Amino acid sequence: MGLHLREPALEPRLGELLTAMLGQVVERGPDSAGVAVYGDPRLTPPGRTVVSLLGVTPAEAEAALPGAVAVAADATTVVHADGDLLAAVTQALPHATVIGSGTSMAVLKGTGNPVELAESFALASVTGWQGVGHTRMATESAVTPEGAHPFSVGPGQCLVHNGSFANHATIRRELRAQGVEFDSENDSEVGARFIAHQLSEGADLEKALRLLCERFDGFYTLLVSTGDSFAVVRDAIACKPALVAETDAWVAMASEYRALDVLPGIEHARIFEPEPEEVYVWQR
């Protein structure tokens, strides 16, 4: 699920609306959850670089990274600082797992009931212009924060996935041969790494998703966000549920209508099911 705000007056309500959406789909994935939020000044202060980490406490992060400020959110520690923070984290905290990086995006993950996780994230108080979220029922990998969605493996980029990639092991081997490293055995991470690799090679987001459709087998609905885009694509059979709702004030995507029904103005929205293998992209 995700929400892309077009109306700045709604930005103070981003976290409130994401919390309400997440609460409507808890039973779809009761073992873990994650969100990515864009533009919250507490988590991602303007002008600062941001890295979201697992496996390190805020105190450890601040001690290892002079000048950095660390914020706790359940199992996640969000760190912001001036300069090339990702390189500094890699050197100073090699045992930590990076689950997100960029200048305006923070990624928060944890295990357990998604409603309780949203509370521990203080999600309802988050502001910003875009957010994506996911509740998970693990099928391809362990129930850990590392295995939770969204997967963010490129600057400001996130992917959430409903479905299963049948040939993920083959593509993982191909990407590893090209020097791509992985943090989990989750098939969804393979999709995220593939997209990030295509973007690094010069493709735009629409092209990267078209290439994914050509290369990946299986059943999937994907929501991919970047620092300026919000995109949806489904596989050729489109058997995994997906609904998009669009108004002048926002665009939202979810697996079920009830997650959209909590949004203001839903009664006036254009609501549709994405067509198979058609890439839909909205830009800020």
Tokens at 75, concatenated? 């199992």
Residue 112 is predicted with a pLDDT of 86
Residue 109 is predicted with a pLDDT of 93
In angstroms, rounded to a whole number, what is the distance separating the alpha carbons of residues 220 and 48? 35
In angstroms, rounded to a whole number, what is the distance separating the alpha carbons of residues 34 and 145? 8
Cα atoms found within 13 Å of the Cα of residue 262, Cβ hemisphere only: 21
Give the CA distances from residue 73 to residues 128, 144, 279, in Å, rounded to whole numbers and listed in that order. Answer: 17, 15, 33
In angstroms, rounded to a whole number, what is the distance separating the alpha carbons of residues 140 and 167? 12
Tens digit of each residue's pLDDT (9 = 90 or more) over 184-233: 888 999 999 999 999 999 999 999 999 999 999 999 999 999 999 999 99
Place of tokens 């400001």: 156
Amino acid (one-letter) located at 190: V
Q: For 264-280, what is the mean pLDDT?
A: 97
Tens digit of each residue's pLDDT (9 = 90 or more) over 9-50: 999 999 999 999 999 887 766 677 899 999 999 999 999 999
In angstroms, rounded to a whole number, what is the distance separating the alpha carbons of residues 28 and 26? 5
Tens digit of each residue's pLDDT (9 = 90 or more) over 97-119: 999 999 999 999 998 888 898 99
To the nearest 10°, report the CA torsion of 119, 121, 124, 130: -140
In angstroms, rounded to a whole number, what is the distance separating the alpha carbons of residues 261 and 85? 39
Residue 137 is predicted with a pLDDT of 60
Q: What is the pTM assigned to this prediction?
A: 0.94
pLDDT of residue 267 exceeding 70, the answer is yes
Tens digit of each residue's pLDDT (9 = 90 or more) over 131-182: 999 886 666 667 778 878 899 999 999 999 998 999 999 999 999 999 999 9
